[in-house]
Amino acid sequence: MKTNHAQVEINDLRDLIQLCEQMGELKRVKAEVDWNLELCHIAKRNEEQNGPALIFENVKGYKTPVLTSVFMKPKHVAMVFNMPLQSTIFDLAKKWISITEKGGIPPKLVSNGPVMENIKTGDDVNLYEFPVPKYFPKDGGRYFGTSVCLITKDPETGFVNLGTYRMEMLDEKSLGALILKGKDADITMKKYQARNELMPAAAVIGGDPRLFFLSACSIPYGVSEYDIAGALRGKPVEVIESDLTGLPIPAHAEIVAEGFIDPNPENYRDEGPFGEYTGYYSKGRMPRPWLDVKRILHRNNPIFWGTTVGRPPTTNVLIHSLAKTAALWEQLNQMKIPGIQSVYFHPAAGRFWAVISVKQMYPGHARQAGLAAFATVVGNYGMKGVIVVDDDIRADDWDRVMWALSVRYNPVEDTEIIKKGRSTALDPSLPMGNRHICSRILMDATIPYEWEDKPELVEMDEDMMKRVNERWSEFGID
């Protein structure tokens, strides 16, 4: 497919900034702005009015600029997928599937890179040198890690994971992290705990922007985000093997804080709360793992990258929508459920609701597709509802989906309730302190395959429609 933007090859954050600027998708804020709430509140208002990415060039007390509001729109993602700017989430998900099905491209080890331009150890390690924002008044502190990738390595298999977990600046050398149960870094951390060893970890800001995008997506344990990023960019991500932690660090990262996390819960420190993507706070300040930062690496004139979380619209919901659309579609294909036409997670519904369009081939087929969705890796985590529609409706055509719910769905007959499934601890619709399990609903808005007497659809005459389309310009309507 031909893209309608200049072919700027995006290898790092600076390339994305350049392309966004060329496409009129980035504004530079030159007025002085406080890192304390003001920066976030400007970004939030901008995001609510569907504005461009922002670079705050004059953060009070700092020289380092702060980038926000990236990946708020499908356009921004289209740039790193090298797709036309008008691409929908649906188009991007299809591209993602086609690329990842071909397999990943592992990272390439290089001996040096811009991230090594400044190396700070010992007393020079000071996270306060960066304009780390405080986002919302009730947040527990300043959050270094929002647009962050935490790199960890499985001590048994060597699998390298990149995951986005919020990271609060606890002091100049410590970053408290929320790593929810069952997340990849949690699985890895438990292995270090069993071995009674510290877990090497690196919090990375910048580098290839695909890395942040992918580290916020639930990619199965054992599949490295580095490899998928390589596949998306069509060549390997360049990494440097750290002589401190042994971890592969993106050579073009802006800022890296590396060190060790003690997996022993007795040594956790208080972290949180933080305004989460659901628009609510969950638990308050409580003991959580923290990164003991032994070394900071950064490029000359680094760019700090942050993401407002809180109530949608946010970066998270778009990433969730795209990643989950692609992952569910792919996983249903892998399960060999026939007839899947399309899959969609609406951005406002985040991870919680999916629509599946299926071409029914046998009785019970639509239910099978819906129930299978709950059993996938992606659907098993926090998904509360699936709506199944017939193949004459695209899963992302919300008007038609509502129509199907209105005229092809009979609640008592067409609903399946599952009482217990894995949830996210951040879901505010669940009681505090008991958020690991939620119920699920399947709404089958298809016309049952087995009905002999199916309702008759009002259809237009194909030949007449063709004629109307050919003569359309004559009518002077558009």
- In the complex, the residues that contact ligand FMN under the rule CB under 6 A are 146, 161, 163-166, 178-180, 183-185, 215-219, 307, 309, 315-316, 319
Give the nearest distance from C-beta 421 to ligand FMN in angstroms: 16
Provide the minimum distance between the beta carbon of 351 and ligand FMN in the complex, in angstroms, as a whole number.
9
Q: How far is CA 130 from the centre of its chain?
A: 24
CB closer to ligand FMN, 321 vs 446: 321
* Residue 275, H or E segment: none
Which DSSP category does 36 fall into? B
* CB nearer ligand FMN, residue 62 or residue 159: 159
Minimal distance, residue 292 CB to ligand FMN, in Å:
18
- Cβ-count burial of 27 within 10 angstroms (0-12 exposed, 13-18 middle, 19+ buried)? middle
Smaller CB separation from ligand FMN, 169 or 179:
179
CB of 183 to ligand FMN, least distance (A): 3
The kind and range of the H/E element at 475 are: none
CA distance to 98, 197, 358, 449, per residue, from 18 (Å): 27, 42, 41, 52
State the CB neighbour count (10 A cutoff) for residue 218.
Answer: 19
What is the nearest approach in angstroms of ligand FMN to the Cβ of residue 308? 9
Helix axes 74-81, 89-101, angle to 10 degrees: 30
| For ligand FMN, the closer CB: 237 or 371 | 237
Q: How far apart are alpha carbons 461 and 463 in whole angstroms?
A: 6
Q: Which residues contact 447 (CB under 8 A, 6 or more apart)?
A: 390, 408, 454, 455
DSSP per position, 315-367: HHHHHHHHHHHHHHHHHHHHTT-TTEEEEE--GGGTTTEEEEEE---STTHHH
The least distance separating ligand FMN from the CB of residue 410, rounded to whole angstroms, comes to 36
249 or 369, CB closer to ligand FMN? 249
Which lies closer to ligand FMN via its Cβ, residue 64 or residue 307? Answer: 307
The least distance separating ligand FMN from the CB of residue 107, rounded to whole angstroms, comes to 16
Closer of 69 and 316 to ligand FMN (Cβ): 316
CB of 32 to ligand FMN, least distance (A): 26
Shortest spacing between CB 289 and ligand FMN, in angstroms: 11
Whole-angstrom distance, CA of residue 138 vs CA of residue 237: 38
C-alpha separations of 126 from 132, 203, 291, 296, 467 in Å:
12, 14, 13, 8, 70
- Which stretches of 96-247 are assigned E, i.e. beta strand? 108-109, 118-121, 143-145, 149-153, 160-163, 167-171, 174-177, 199-206, 238-241
Residue among 132 and 319 whose Cβ is closer to ligand FMN = 319
CB closer to ligand FMN out of 183 and 384:
183
Q: Cβ of residue 185: shortest distance to ligand FMN, in angstroms? A: 6
Sheet (strand 304-305) strand order: 26-29, 53-56, 66-68, 304-305
- Least distance in angstroms from the C-beta of 7 to ligand FMN: 28
Name the residue nearer to ligand FMN (CB basis): 248 or 448: 248
The least distance separating ligand FMN from the CB of residue 335, rounded to whole angstroms, comes to 20
Phi, psi of 28, deg, nearest 5 = -100, 125
Q: How many helices (H) and strands (E) does the chain have?
A: 12, 23
DSSP string, 141-184: S-EEESS-EEEEE-TTT--EEEE---EEEEETTEEEE---TTSH
Closest to ligand FMN by CB, 163 vs 448, is 163
Contact 239, 11 (CB under 8 A): no
With tokens 């599949």, the residue in question is: 223
- Residue 25, exposed/middle/buried by CB under 10 A (0-12, 13-18, 19+)? buried
* Cβ pair 140, 285 in contact under 8 A: yes
Cβ distance to ligand FMN smaller for residue 377 or 405:
377
| Residue nearest to ligand FMN according to CB distances in the complex | 163
Nearer to ligand FMN, 204 or 309 (CB): 309
Pairing of strands 66-68, 304-305: parallel
The answer to whether 232 and 208 are in contact (CB under 8 A) is: no
| Smallest distance, ligand FMN to C-beta of residue 444, A | 29
